[in-house]
Each structure stands twice: as C-alpha cells, then as structure tokens.
Amino acid sequence: MRAGRIVLGVGLLLAVGGAAGLAAYGWRPAIDPIDPPTAASFDPALMRQGAELASVGNCGTCHTAPGGRPFAGGLALPTPFGTIYTTNITPDPETGIGRWSEAAFQRAMREGVDRAGRNLYPAFPYDHFTLVTDADNKALYAFLMTRQPVPARAPDNDLPFPLNQRFVLAGWKLLFLREGPYAPDPAHDAAWNRGAYLAEGLAHCGACHTPRNLLGAEETGRRFAGGDAEGWHAVPIGSGSPAPVPWTADSLYQYLRDGWHGQHGTAQGPMGPVADSLAGIPEADVRAIAGYVASVMGQPDADARKRGDALVAATANPAGPGTRPQSAGSQTIAPAATAPDPGAAIYAATCAACHESGRPSPFGGLDLRLSSAISGDSPANLIRIIRQGVPAQAGARAPIMPGFAASLSDRQLAALSGYLRGRFADKPAWSGLDAAIRATRDSEVAASAASH
C-alpha cells in the first residue's frame, strides 16, 4: 500500500516538476566560483557565533560519516525513496565548499540550490533552514570556511529513476517550500520568539517530530505530532506526547542540555547527538528552545497533571525490587505474573536489578513506569533500546545500559517487550510487534551496509 502511494506521489511530483523544472533551471544559474578565503579574513567573534549556530543545527553529525573527518560528508541517510549521502561542507576547493561565495551559501540555505545551480534534496532540511537570517548565515559561513579542508567526495545517491533527476525537486519546492526568513510573532516575547526561531529553523525539530506525506514533506496540519527518523520513532512533542509525567520547560531544558532527565529517561537514537550538540551552546538558547516547545505542548489537563504527580510520588519512594506500589493515581501497574511468563522471566534476569534498584538516575535504571518508550504508540524505540542499549559517554554523568541484541532472540525480545508494555503502561498491547522487530533488525543491517 505504501509503495503504491509513493508511486502515485512521484507521478504528481513529475507532473508539477515537469512544468516547473525547466523554468527553475532558467532562473537559478550557477554562481561563479571564488578563490578559497583565508581564515584570517574572518572575524573571530563571527566564527565563534557560527560554531554555536552549527551546534544548534547539528551540522557536524549529519555531515560526518562514521570514522570520517568532521564535516567531510559521506553519511548515509536512509529515506523511503532511497539512500542519500551527505555532502562535504569543509572548505576543500574541489570536493567541498571552498569555492563557494557567501552568496552561494546563502542561496543553499534559503532556496535549496547549490553553487552550480542544482536543486538540493530536502534531506538537507532547507525547508527549515530558509528561516535563518542573513546575519546568522554569515556567521555559519565564517565557521565552515575556517574548518580543516578535507578532500572527500560523497558516494552517489542511491535513488531510483526519476527521483535521481533533480528537476523533479523544482516541483517539490513549488508545492512545499515557503521561503523565509523567520518573522517574529509580536504576540510573544523575545525569549519565545528566540526559541521559535531556533526550533523551527536551524534546530529543525519538525524534520523528525512531524509526520510526512507521501511526497516526503511535513504535514503542516500535524506539526510536532510525531514522525520517524533512521528507524526510530520521534515521539510527539505537541499535545499528544506519550510521556507518563507531563513535560515542563524546566524538564525539557535539562533533557536537551544533559541528554537525560530522571522522570523521562535518556536521549537515544538521532536525539542523542542533538543533546550532545546543544550542550555547547548558550544556556539562554537552550532555555528558549525548551520554553517554545513547552508552549507548543500546552498545559496538561487536570487529570494528566494529577496522574503525573501521583506517579512522581510513587516512583520517588519505591519499596524495593519486586515490592513496589501497584498503582500511581489512576494508573494501574500490573503485578508481576504468577503463571509462567517468558517475558517476566527475561525481565527478572536482565532488567529488574537495575530498574528496580531504587537508585535515582543516572546511577540506577529508569523506573519503567516513567518510560515513554513503553507508553508510546510505537514499539520501535523500546525495541532499539533493548537491542542497542545506552552506551556510556566519555566523561559524562549519564545513564548507561548494556545492549541485548546478541543475547535475545526475536521471540524473546517480543516476549520481553510485550511484558513491559503490559506491566508498566496503562495502554493496550501493541499490534504488529513481531513485524516491528523484523523491521528494526532489517534497518540495522541496511544502515550498517550503507555505512561501509
């Protein structure tokens, strides 16, 4: 069904792009190359500002392949349409952006067109970056043009015809690109507008946390309603958040700043590098992003607040392994099974010692009644966390957890996941759990192959 919708969507894109594409090439000419500027030609303060902005945009993560040099590109980005490889954005004159003028860089950010006049694939999220101001683009340009040049050419994208023909992107832009820059909302204060500017622009939160249509564009009417990224489910960060304890601006700030929060768990998957990047930017900017996202989520209703408060109280004073209170407010926690249950046995052997230790995060496992991975609509994140674990971060005071990919079969993983859902979430059982486990395993294999 999904494949049929994609084919239909590509047909629509071709119809629009066929008409718009030829015209697009006519008014998007190449911009003349320049001699690579010297580092001394840039103001050091501007370079420092650009470094902070690059961290907000998480540029280094996307433009660095595993084991590769920073910003030299080559990272494989899987999409429903094929694999796209990120480009070299070091100032190498032959394979990077060394011969790009500032005007060429501005155009790529604002319009999604490279120096040679080619339309860029929206895996580079210029539908968000278009909101960035000229002044901030100038700072980003100064930072990138003073990195170490690295000669490295990205592999060719693995896309089927006709998506490997860039003229179809003209149709995509005609339908979905609304050029910026960001216009402040006079109904809100400066901090809210700063948060909106960063979250909607460089941080491109919606690129992961918003569902996409059959043409791969964000569904504007469902902003922050949850999406998918690299095999992980980017949970809703709007009113549909599955967090058992409602988020606040303060808890969002700590989560974004430190990569974990005691009542919400750790930032994993694509969110992990985001938190790592945000750790190096000014505190005021992280607070602004957190405040904006909290405002989008809105205030929880009285029932949600009551359930959250009761859950926080219950989990703050656990009675010890296996003897916890069996309810928190109106949220009932099923007791451990008395009949033989393979999921319960696996939990007791592999999980309970940490997750029922009573030690607070990060030294003890998260109380699983607080887990969004268990209470969410999709089992994808729980499956990946169990398989991959939570790796230790050098020098960081953060939670860790071993991965069980090598020790649990698919059947055991399904039994454990189903048990965790039934015991720790006041939600119905997941449907399609076996299929989700197979899809996770397949995506891990594909990602590993694409990176080699």
Known binding-site positions: 59, 62-63, 205, 208-209, 351, 354-355
The phi, psi pair for 116, rounded to 5°, reads -80, -5
Q: Is 294 helix (H, G, I), strand (E, B) or coil?
A: helix
Residues, the chain, total? 452
Q: Is 298 helix (H, G, I), strand (E, B) or coil?
A: coil
Long-range contacts of 224-230 (CB under 8 A, 24+ apart): 224/293, 224/296, 226/377, 228/380, 229/269, 229/270, 230/77, 230/78, 230/269, 230/270, 230/443, 230/447
Over the Cα atoms of the chain, what is R_g? 23
d(CA 281, CA 112): 26
- Please, what sign has the CA dihedral across residues 260, 265, 269, 270? negative
Angle in degrees, 0-180, between the axes of helices 433-450 and 380-388, rounded to the nearest 10: 60
**Nearest residue to 247 (alpha-carbon basis) of 294, 304, 191:** 294
Half-sphere exposure of 138 (CA within 13 A, CB side): 9
d(CA 188, CA 29): 39
Amino acid letter for position 46: L
> 153 is written with which tokens?
């050419």
Query: CB neighbours of 67 closer than 8 A, spacing ≥ 6?
Result: none
d(CA 323, CA 335): 9
Annotated binding site for heme c: 59, 62-63, 205, 208-209, 351, 354-355
Helices (H), 224-332: 249-258, 271-278, 283-297, 302-316
Q: How many CB atoms lie within 10 A of CB 118?
A: 15
Q: Which residues of 429-448 are buried (b: 16+ CB within 10 A; e: fewer)?
A: ebeebeebbeebbebeeebe
> 361 is written with which tokens?
């995060």
d(CA 219, CA 322): 44
The DSSP output letter for 346 is: H
